[in-house]
Structure 1
Amino acid sequence: MRKFMILGLIAATALPGVAMAQSAAELRHDRREIREEQRDLRQAQRYGDRRDVRDARGDLRDARREYREDWQDYRRTHRDVYRAGNWRAPFRYSQWTVGAQLRPVYYSSRYYIADPYRYRLPRPGASLRWVRHYNDVLLVNVRTGRVVQVHRGFFW
């Protein structure tokens, strides 16, 4: 009986210490809470005293740090999705910027990201496609070839 009690106490103290990555939905919820804290900080700056502002800034800083750590844990536990690899292409790496125009070989269907939700990318609009270019992700207008958005180093 005594061994079971000791074992239970050890388990009760060890389990909360185990780092568990959050789900994508929990991360979105945390990001929403950070936005609310930012709004509270603005209100405190507008109407409150200095102590309220200082406390709100500290809370916001802590929330951002925790969110960053949770996001890193999420990426670490989902390494297979965010893994960099030997991305063979018939062209060399170029660092694209928003507004640049690509030749069709750079955004052919071979390089489309078929499931952007898997990578937590927003849904592309009409005639837009997420394209992988080495470790970068580009949002390309497939009609004109213009780059709309760039995420550098997305796959690491």
Structure 2
Amino acid sequence: MTNEQTNTILNDVLETLIDSTDGYEKAAEVADRPAFKQLFGRRAASRRAMAADVRNHIVELGGTPDDDGSILANMHRTFLSIRAAVQDNDNAAIEAVDNGEKHLREQFEDALENDDLSPSARALLKKYQGELRADGRLIDQLEDAA
């Protein structure tokens, strides 16, 4: 395990966190209910803070953090905008966020299972794993309520 290997793994996680932040911001834009707008805004802020921590860890390890989200995420946000235009905005936002959350949790799990991840990076990602699980349960509840 080298810092370069760890930084590659963390940059993949960072890209997904940036996507998640952008997704939550877009969901906040298209949601109709003020409570959903606030919730999605808070989740975006949380993801932004996680991304900052990962970015800082990459720098501490001597790497260069990637600051772009994925092309796939940009297409997903465009799809969310189109879908919101033709259906209930709250449901569209919740569905998009749910898909994004599942992808983010999988990204974290894959990173944590990778033997090339340094102990300090593993500790950083584990610190956020509980929050990601709780957010997944919250989104499930929102789906049931909507």
Pairwise same-fold verdict (TM > 0.5): no
> Comparing both structures, which one devotes a greater share of its residues to helix?
2
Structure (1 or 2) with the greater strand fraction: 1
Using CA pairs below 8 Å that are at least 6 residues apart, which structure has the higher relative contact order? Answer: 2
Give the shorter-chain TM-score range: 0.3 to 0.5
* Bigger Cα Rg: 1
TM-score (norm 2): 0.33
